[in-house]
A = this chain, B = another copy of it.
Amino acid sequence: MAEDRRRTAQQERVKQSLDEADGFVSAGDLHRRIFAKGESIGLATVYRHLNAMADREEIDVIAVDNERLFRACAPEDHHHHLVCERCGKAVDLPPPEEAWFADVAGRHGFTLTRHVLEIFGVCAECAAASR
């Protein structure tokens, strides 16, 4: 069954780092973050755990440009982010428009299953630093 999985340090590192990262991160990002914490892991292993968790639907995945971004899935506090492309800082966004999605979907005869919204930009500090 699905329960013959082993509990390992790497498993934990990937999951924890993904939790710490607020918002979407790429596999490479995550790998870098883990090393930044002084811990070690192979890039391939990061991918393997990321894919495994995605298969089990424990995390969210979106495809952007030529890479995939992963995010710890927290169904309850489902909200969106405004992410700084320079420093990675993320700001939570209020979900007032949440209903709009279901509305639009329904208007086109669709049954809504999931949606993803991420906004990227450059925060005031980074903008000031680069000039």
Contacts and interface: CB of A to CB of B under 8 A. Distances in A.
26 contacts: A63-B63, A63-B65, A63-B66, A66-B66, A82-B104, A82-B108, A82-B110, A85-B113, A93-B104, A101-B119, A104-B119, A105-B121, A108-B123, A109-B124, A110-B119, A110-B121, A110-B124, A111-B122, A111-B127, A113-B122, A114-B121, A115-B118, A115-B119, A116-B117, A116-B118, A117-B117
In the complex, which range does the number of interface residues on chain A fall in? 35 or more
Chain A contact residues: helix, strand, loop or mixed? strand
Contacts of A110: 82, 84, 91, 119, 121-124
Interface of A: 62-68, 82, 84-85, 91, 93, 97, 100-101, 104-105, 108-124, 127
Q: How many copies does the complex hold?
A: 2
